[in-house]
Amino acid sequence: MKSKNKIGASFAFDFFNVLWMVLFALFCLVPLVIMISASFSSDEALQNYGYTLFVKDWSINAYKVVFANVNPLLRAYGVSIVVTGGGTLINVFLTALIAYPLSKPHFKFKNAVTIMLLITMLFSPGMVPTYILITQYLKWKNTFAVMIIPQIGMTFYIILLRTFFSDIPKEIGESAKMDGCSAFREFLTITVPLSLPALATCSILVALSYWNDWGTAYLYVDDNRMWNVQMLMINLVQQAQEWKKNLGQLAGNQSSDSIVMATCILGTLPIMGVFMALQKYIVKGMTVGAVKG
């Protein structure tokens, strides 16, 4: 009897877990499908049917408007790729260098440095002092530095890597030191290869942060040659809304709503593809080391 009750309870638990995950997946997926549908819908279809899961009247005029001048779009993709790729490599490497000594029990300043890092999560210097520092003292306006450097060394990623590094058996490092291995060489040849799941997790999350960052470009980049994809999307949306306001309709009788959706699709598809291809590393990196024994 007890065995049957356990089986029934296990089945109910699994059923509600699956049901919850399906509902959550639909909650995330339906807005994306609606966005794609709206981007391929004509002006009349959006006016008559609103936003629907399936396209009522196919039209690619929104994408024609977006691709009317392809050079700014390609340049924005280039800027985003440089910032995301270069920023992720620099950020993760330096973050790992910070986390490595914090994972060592013999590092005497371990607790003090950790407390200082945690304080940065609770208090920020404020937008005005940061803006003055970046524009007047560092002279980073309209540069790649302003889009890369401020995000380096985020406390969350430092703690994540520190926790993972701490789970690596200390006997491995001690054996390497007995063979004459320096601390930096141990970090590169032992710690990094053993920490690839955690490093991959941090890399994906950092890349998402760089790619989706529009606030930095909005504040510190006024040269359209340095716009990233997100900033170009904002500009295209503003243009579409201005055209609709002044002309009542857009080129090819296309509404600004479909152009907004088309720009969102073009801005999210590349990083979405990367995330879907590497999402297994996020799960593995977040869960490895959670169970011991």
- Would you list the domain boundaries of the chain? 2-39, 69-287
pLDDT, residue 55, reads: 84
Flag whether pLDDT at 96 surpasses 90.
yes
Instruction: Tell me which fold the domain 69-287 belongs to.
Output: MetI-like fold (1.10.3720)
How far CA 228 is from CA of 39, 166, 217, 256, in Å, comes to 21, 37, 7, 21
pLDDT, residue 143, reads: 92
Count each helix (H run) and each strand (E run) in the chain, helices first: 15, 0
Environment class of 256 (CB within 10 Å of its CB; exposed 0-12, middle 13-18, buried 19+):
buried
* 190 and 169 Cβ atoms separated by less than 8 Å: no
pLDDT, residue 285, reads: 58
pLDDT, residue 291, reads: 47
| pLDDT band, residue 104 (cuts 50/70/90) | confident
Q: Which residue did the predictor score with more confidence, 246 or 237?
A: 237
Flag whether pLDDT at 259 surpasses 70.
yes
> For the ranges 41-55, 148-162, 220-234, which has the lowest average pLDDT?
41-55
What average pLDDT score do residues 135-149 get?
92
pTM over 0.85: no
What average pLDDT score do residues 59-66 get?
80
Residues with Cβ within 8 Å of residue 205, at least 6 apart in sequence? 157, 282
